[in-house]
A and B are shown apart, each in its own frame.
Chain A
Amino acid sequence: MTKRVTLKIDGMECPNCAMILESMEDKLKGVKKAEASYRKAQLIVEYNEAELSIDTIKAEVKRLGYEVTGVI
């Protein structure tokens, strides 16, 4: 089942960071769509709950060099 989550992100310093975060769409299995906004400092992820957990997404954000400060 597809779930949609909005994460508050800390550490984005330019619009290019949004592109880096969105790369999880290609690399993390189970992510259907990832859309980040540098302006709003947030990341919206649509993912398959059966394949992926929110903790894995948070860990991927951390691996990419950013921090999840909250779930909206």
Chain B
Amino acid sequence: MNNILIAFITGLTSGGLSCLAVQGGLLASSLSNQIEQDFQTASVKNRKSKKPIKQKPSKLALPIMVFLVAKLIAYSILGFLLGMVGQVFQLSPIARAILLIAIGIFMLGNALRMLNVHPIFRFFVFEPPAFLRRKLRKTALGANGSSLITPAFLGFMTVLIPCGIAQSIMAIVLGTGNPLQGAALMFAFTLGTSPVFFAVSYFATQIGAKLEKQFVRFVAIVVLILAIVTINSGLTLAGSPINLSRLPISLYPQPQRVDAIQAGPAAQAIDPAIGSPVAAKPDLADTEGSTITIKVENYEYNPAEIHAKAGVPVTLRLITKDVRSCSRALIIPALNVQTILDQTGEASIQIPAQKSGTKINYSCSMGMYGGRIIFDL
């Protein structure tokens, strides 16, 4: 339920703009006849009445709605199918991480394309094959302007050109390995994108060319930021030592061993937000570091970096208290651990003895939050 809400909010906040940038053309094609018709009517009336041309966007509401409903159905079916595929081929965290990084690079290229940085970035966009373009064009332009079949068909066709964010959700859906959950996630995401699609399309005829250019730039910047977030998620999921959350530590390395001695033999933590070591709370580690405790919170793992005893088996205690975010879905790639924690409760993971200096990274299943265990006590 929680993931479905996240998918909806993702669609509402970022998916709408990103997907509109990719699929807006299809929607515009499906509306072109209606707009052309409205424009011609307005022009004729204008010539007769000599009043300024005024578009009537109200006539666009129905085709836009039909387009969006068709899109919603198509993506729900796609979610169901992806969940089925995921059921057969369960993606490993590393495979998912590679997928996320690849999607991030694709989005980055797409953003740079929209910003017209270099023609090479045009290769980062999916160009439908000529036969499909011909079919889409003939449907869009050939149908009667008032026909609702065109927007319905083109709304359905948007599954062929998913945007970067939609592709990210598709990767997550693939990872669920559950057709019904997959359909629900894609439905929630697509529903979330709908208000932005509707609002922008509805008022599109009112937007001037200049404003449209500014809008494309704005979308490009949003996609650029999301690309960085997606690549970072992939890196976190892969357990990479280089990612944004560890950047402060990388930039301002601290003499950890000295601090560890100062803090005593117990495990110590580093707060990535301030980049400096802080003594772990006494209840977070036992005196030998053979039992370590991580508090799983909604937006972080606390402590994000914890030290444990090397050379002996270590018990990792995970405490959750009313956790509703994806941090509940914990992944430790090095140990091949994938688990979904209770919203409130406690779980233990036995970690076999590790060599001194070993660093084990962990993260949530979406790579949004992460941390690491360092075996050096």
Residues of A that sit less than 8 Å from B by CB: 13-16, 18-19, 22-23, 25-26, 35, 37-39, 41
Contact = CB atoms under 8 A, between A and B. Distances in A.
Nearest to B126: A15
A15 B125 contact: yes
B119 A41 contact: yes
A19 B154 CA distance: 14
Contacts of A16: 24-26, 28-29
A15 B28 contact: no
Given A38-B127, A39-B123, A18 B141 contact: no
A22 B127 contact: no
A23 B127 contact: no
B45 interface: no
B130 interface: yes
A55 to B, nearest CB: 24
A14 B125 contact: yes
B138 interface: yes
B122 interface: yes
B137 interface: yes
Nearest to B122: A39
A37 B127 contact: yes
B137 A23 contact: yes
Contact of B25 (A15, A22, A39): A15
Nearest to B213: A13
B121 to A, nearest CB: 10
B125 A38 contact: yes
Contacts of B54: none
Given A22-B134, A38-B122, A15 B141 contact: no
B213 to A, nearest CB: 9
A10 to B, nearest CB: 11
Nearest to A15: B127
Contact of B137 (A13, A22, A37): A22
A20 to B, nearest CB: 9
A29 B377 CA distance: 81
6 nearest CB pairs, A to B: A16-B25, A39-B122, A15-B127, A19-B137, A19-B133, A35-B130
A10 B128 CA distance: 20
A68 to B, nearest CB: 17
A13 B215 CA distance: 13
B136 interface: yes
Interface in B136-193: 136-138, 140-142
Contacts of B141: 23, 26
B127 A19 contact: no
B162 to A, nearest CB: 14
A67 to B, nearest CB: 15
Contacts of A25: 134
Interface in B193-250: 216
A9 to B, nearest CB: 12
A36 to B, nearest CB: 9
Given A22-B133, A22-B134, A26-B141, A15 B128 contact: yes
Contact of A19 (B24, B136, B142): B136
Contacts of B127: 15, 18, 37-39
A7 B116 CA distance: 21
A13 B216 CA distance: 10
A24 to B, nearest CB: 11
A19 B29 contact: yes
25 contacts: A13-B216, A15-B25, A15-B125, A16-B25, A16-B28, A16-B29, A18-B127, A19-B25, A19-B29, A19-B133, A19-B136, A19-B140, A22-B133, A22-B134, A23-B137, A23-B141, A26-B138, A26-B142, A35-B130, A38-B122, A38-B125, A39-B122, A39-B123, A39-B127, A41-B119
